[in-house]
Amino acid sequence: MTYRKRVITHTLKKPDEFISTMERITFFIEKNIRIVLIASAAFLIIGASIFSFYLYKNHVNTKAAALEYQAVRHYYEGSADGYKKAIELFEEVIKLYPNSKSASIAQYNIGNAYFKMNDFDKADEAYKKFIDKYSSDKILLGLVMQKLSYVYVAKKDYNKAIESLNRIISDSSVFGKDQAYFELGKLYEVLNKKDDAMSKYEALVKDYSSSPWAAEGAARLKILKGEEKKEDKKK
């Protein structure tokens, strides 16, 4: 019996199947050099732009902070001339560096300076301007609405003062609700609305027990309840 030898043949792989990963990348770059160069240039331009913007923003914030510091120094002189000079410098901060971190603080302090000078109409205007332009600053917004309530109390517009404080309480994103409750309680006491005052103090003690204002509220609540008992005994 004769046997035919089996001839095993191997099909050679195509050359590109032996190319390594790096060689593939090199080959792609060589074929698409123009696209690669444009993409690289675009990436570098975007990176440089972001870095330049960061440097510029940092520079602006530094310059604005320096000017703000000068204004604050005049503010703490505590004199009419000091407040006037502070207002001028705060306004300059807003004019020259409107997008800086110092701009919103400057607007807030303009209102404070006018309040210190007993110019309640201009303080009112300054605080409202803050609310219009910088309401995204939730920490300062609470303080501004609180200061606005002081302006209305000074002008004996108690309804607007109550409205301003209630806005702090009703806006979940605004800080300073504990103090707003306390200020409302005090205001209702001034208006001789003891039940309303006690209601605000009770809410303060219940909802913000760890706040230092809660201790103040509890003290006022105790006094009001003591007065209430005395009145009941007289009857």
In a domain, 160, yes or no: no
In a domain, 69, yes or no: yes
In a domain, 152, yes or no: no
What confidence score (pLDDT) does residue 64 get? Answer: 84
What confidence score (pLDDT) does residue 31 get? Answer: 62
| Closest to 107 (Cα-Cα) out of 147, 55, 54, 60 | 147
Q: What CATH code is carried by the domain that includes residue 105?
A: 1.25.40.10
Domain count, the chain: 1
In a domain, 188, yes or no: no
What confidence score (pLDDT) does residue 61 get? Answer: 74
Q: What is the pTM of this model?
A: 0.71
Average pLDDT of the chain, as a whole number: 82
| Closest to 178 (Cα-Cα) out of 210, 220, 140, 139 | 210
Among left, alpha and beta (phi > 0; psi -120 to 50; other), residue 193 is beta
List, for residues 69-106, the tens digit of each pLDDT value: 899 999 999 999 999 999 999 999 999 998 888 899 99
**Domain limits for position 120:** 61-144
In a domain, 84, yes or no: yes
Per-residue pLDDT, averaged over 214-231, amounts to 83
List, for residues 157-214, the tens digit of each pLDDT value: 999 999 999 999 999 888 999 999 999 999 999 999 999 999 999 999 999 999 999 9
In a domain, 1, yes or no: no
In a domain, 68, yes or no: yes
Residues in the chain: 235
The torsion of the CA quartet 194, 198, 199, 204, rounded to 10 degrees, works out to 140
